[in-house]
C-alpha cells in the first residue's frame, strides 16, 4: 500500500527533475536572446524612421536658401524615398540579401545627408537660421541614436549567434528550435574602412 502512494510522488519528482534540468541547460536562452535581437532591431528601425521624418523639413529649409543646390536636394529626397519605400521581408534578419539591401539604402541616405550638410556650409545665412540649426541638431542627435541602436543590435546578434553556434546551445537549438537561424549583422562599408587623407 505504501508503494502505491509512492509511485505518483516518484513520477512527480522525475517530472520536476526533468523540467529543472531543461531550464538549467538553457532551453529558454535561445528564445530570450532571439527576443533581444528583435527588440534591438525594432529600435534600429525606429531611429532610422526618426531620421527619415526629419529630412523633409531639412530639405525645405535648405531649399529656401540654396536654390542652386537642386542636385544635392534631389539626391537626398531620392535616397530617403528608396530607404523608406523598401518592403522589409519578415525574414530580413536571417536573409543576407535583403539585409544588405536595407543596409545599402540607409548608407546611401547617410551619404546624401552628409553632402547636404557640407553644402550648407557655403551659405552663412542658412547656417545662422534657427530652424536649420534646430533641424541640424536633431539630425546629429538622431545619427548618434542610430549608432547606439546599431551597436546594441550588433551585441544582441553576437550573443544570439554565439548561442546557436556553441555547445550546448547548438544542441538545444537542433532539438527544440530547429528553425532558429543565425541573424545578419551590420558591416562596415569599404568606404568607411578607407583611411581619410588629411591635407594641409
CA pair distance 126, 181, nearest whole angstrom: 49
Nearest Cα residue to 39 out of 157, 170, 185, 173? 157
What is the total count of domains within the chain?
1
Residue 14 has pLDDT above 90, yes or no: no
The answer as to whether 152 is a domain residue is yes
Given this model, what pLDDT does residue 35 score?
A: 97
Grid cell in block for residue 39: 527588440
Q: What is the pLDDT of residues 118-159, one digit of tens each?
A: 988 889 889 889 999 999 999 999 999 999 999 999 999 999
94 located within any domain: yes
Q: How far apart are CA 28 and CA 163, in angstroms?
A: 11
Q: What is the pLDDT of residue 1?
A: 52
Beta strands in the chain (DSSP E): none
Q: For residue 128, give the DSSP letter.
A: T
Rounded to 5°, the CA angle 164-89-142 comes to 85
Return phi, psi of residue 168, to 5°: -90, -5
Count the neighbouring beta carbons within 10 Å of the beta carbon of residue 115.
16
**Residue-number span of the structural domain to which 171 is assigned:** 46-188
Is the confidence at residue 21, as pLDDT, over 60? no
> Is residue 163 a part of any domain in this protein?
yes
User: Region 85-110: what's the mean pLDDT?
Assistant: 95
* Coil, helix or strand at residue 73: helix
Length of the chain: 200
Distance CA 103, CA 41 (A): 13
Give the whole-angstrom CA distance, residue 20 versus residue 9: 16
pTM (whole model) above 0.85: no
Residue 101 within any structural domain of the chain: yes
Is position 105 within any domain? Answer: yes
Q: Is residue 199 part of a domain?
A: no
pLDDT band at 198 (very low <50, low <70, confident <90, very high): very low
The reply to whether 7 falls in a domain is no
Q: What pLDDT does 196 receive? A: 44
The CA-CA-CA angle for residues 166, 170, 174, to 5°, reads 170
Quick check: is 89 in a domain? Answer: yes
Q: For residues 95 and 89, what is the distance between their CA atoms, to the nearest angstrom?
A: 9
pLDDT digits (tens, 9 = 90+) for 35-75: 999 999 999 999 999 999 999 999 999 988 888 888 999 99
For residue 67, CA distances in Å to 58, 64, 71 come to 14, 7, 10
What is the three-class DSSP state of 123? coil
Amino acid at each position: 500500500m505504501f508503494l502505491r502512494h509512492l509511485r505518483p510522488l516518484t513520477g512527480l519528482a522525475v517530472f520536476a527533475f526533468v523540467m529543472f534540468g531543461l531550464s538549467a541547460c538553457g532551453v529558454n536562452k535561445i528564445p530570450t536572446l532571439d527576443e533581444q535581437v528583435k527588440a534591438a532591431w525594432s529600435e534600429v528601425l525606429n531611429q532610422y524612421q526618426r531620421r527619415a521624418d526629419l529630412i523633409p523639413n531639412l530639405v525645405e529649409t535648405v531649399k529656401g536658401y540654396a536654390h542652386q543646390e537642386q542636385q544635392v536636394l534631389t539626391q537626398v529626397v531620392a535616397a530617403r524615398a528608396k530607404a523608406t519605400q523598401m518592403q522589409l521581408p519578415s525574414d530580413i534578419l536571417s536573409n543576407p540579401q535583403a539585409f544588405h539591401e536595407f543596409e545599402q539604402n540607409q548608407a546611401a541616405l547617410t551619404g546624401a545627408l552628409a553632402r547636404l550638410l557640407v553644402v550648407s556650409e557655403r551659405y552663412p545665412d542658412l547656417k545662422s537660421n534657427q530652424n536649420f540649426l534646430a533641424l541640424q541638431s536633431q539630425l546629429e542627435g538622431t545619427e548618434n541614436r542610430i549608432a547606439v541602436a546599431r551597436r546594441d543590435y550588433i551585441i544582441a546578434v553576437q550573443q544570439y549567434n554565439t548561442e546557436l553556434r556553441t555547445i550546448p546551445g547548438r544542441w538545444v537549438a537542433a532539438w527544440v528550435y530547429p528553425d532558429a537561424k543565425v541573424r545578419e549583422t551590420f558591416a562596415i562599408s569599404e568606404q568607411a574602412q578607407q583611411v581619410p587623407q588629411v591635407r594641409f
